[in-house]
Amino acid sequence: MKYYDDLRSFIDALDAMGDIMHVTREVDCDFEPSAITRRSYEIQSPAPLFHHITGVESGFRLFGAPASLSSRSDMPYARVAMSLGLAPESTGLEIVEALSAARHKPGIPPVRVESSAAPCQQNILRGEQATLDRFPIPFAHDKDGGRYANTWGTLIVKTPDGKWVNWSIARVMKVDGKRMVGLIVPSQHIGQIWAEWVKIGEPMPYALVQGPAPAISCVSGIPIPAHADEADYIGTLAGAPVEVVKAVSIDLDVPATAEIVIEGHVSITRDCQEGPYGEYGGYLGSGSSAQPTFHVETITYRDDPIWPMSITGRPTDESHTLWAMGLAADALTYLREAELPVKAAWIPEDSTVHWLLIVMPENWRELLPGMSSEELSQRIGEVLFKTSAMVFIPKVYVVDDDFDPTNLREVVWVLSTRVHPVGRRAVFEDQRVIRLPQCYEEEEYVAGKGAKVVFDTLQTTRHLHASFEQGYPQEVRQRILDNW
């Protein structure tokens, strides 16, 4: 296992295993990089690295699909695993376990280095020179409200008293060279911190970091408990503190090896229209909303910087790999803390973060004496739907452990044959609903409330599968394999 402390060493490692597609011809910055990246997701090709983009300074590059499925069929989750310092052949369930386990270990706080030792400050732009127009920011989709300056970068903010520092990913749209507008959801951590600045009537300092160490991008995009510092959690995953440097113009520390850092302040009112944007559910956006303005004041960057991007849409992109694994790890952590003997949690990529599978071991009835499967499903829903991350999950399936939950073919078979047409489900009415899940009616989005469900698919008696593995004597199977 190896931890990559900057984006470039990570790209080099992917390149060595044949998982980078070098696009050396000049590409138009409007749609071409995004369209190539989107196709790379859909055919599971190597991750595209764009070396020549029309209209920007020579040397500036774009990097697409940083944490999607690998083009290596023998290690499909290699990009996510390697980002987190895990072995490239790690399975999805192993990654979820690692993310959950790290939450119970002591955090390792970051360490500050001098500016001279921070590659992210090799070049410094101030005033009118600090303009987004210098950088290759494409349209993600042709129906979007603008060019999205943040799809895989880390936003760094902290409370006015400095006690809580938050690193997160949120979509941010370019308005012009000096302004962006970002989606600030009140219930999310960045929204809670922004509300504290609004209370005191002062604009919120922010740093938008493009291309930090891959683990920083990944952890920024998954749920961890409120008031926990992502930097400390990343240090735990890395086994060493994250190196940070003081930002040039604001009182924030930023990752020292980042490619690009944008510094400025966020308005205290929702004074600019953001969206629409094609989201992880797989549909192009159709609406916009008033959101705060991110004013651009200073930009620092490495020589020949690399701007990473995630182009969300139909499976499979970073929303369906990394983010889904983070949500599964969150669910797994809370259920085990509730003393439920859950074996695994998994969100199938092709469900676009609309299904969550909770896998129970064969002996769960012995571990929970007197509890029926209906009562277990009810309890699982009570635990999960109180957590903030589960606002994104409308459907939970409680399943046995006699199949591979990461194999979509097996998932479809199990759900098709074990979900009862009418009964065996726990319905939770009037749960919090936001617009990102695609399965609700307009009146439910307006009200902010809708139903969620836990399906009980647990078998009273385990049935053997009509399969090669379970349908024939072991000696017959071995003889066939030996002569295959």
Q: Rounded distance, CA 58 to CA 52, Å? A: 7
Cβ atoms of 211 and 305 within 8 Å: the answer is: yes
Can you read off the two tokens belonging to residue 214? 């891959």
How far, CA to CA in Å, does 402 sit from each of 234, 257, 450, 469? 34, 44, 32, 12
- Helix axis angle for 373-384 and 324-337, nearest 10°, is 110
Q: Which of 279, 297, 318, 349 is catalytic?
A: 279
Give the whole-angstrom CA distance, residue 205 versus residue 454.
41
> Tokens in use for 163?
């006690």
Instruction: With CA atoms as reference, report the closest residue to 337 among 181, 225, 183, 462.
Output: 225
Residue 230 per-residue DSSP state: H
d(Cα 274, Cα 266) in Å, to the nearest integer? 14
Contacts made by residues 158-164, CB under 8 angstroms, sequence distance 24+: 158/193, 158/205, 158/252, 159/193, 159/196, 160/196, 160/197, 160/200, 160/202, 162/251, 163/227, 164/193, 164/226, 164/227, 164/229
Catalytic annotation on 279?
A: yes
**Residue numbers annotated as active site:** 279
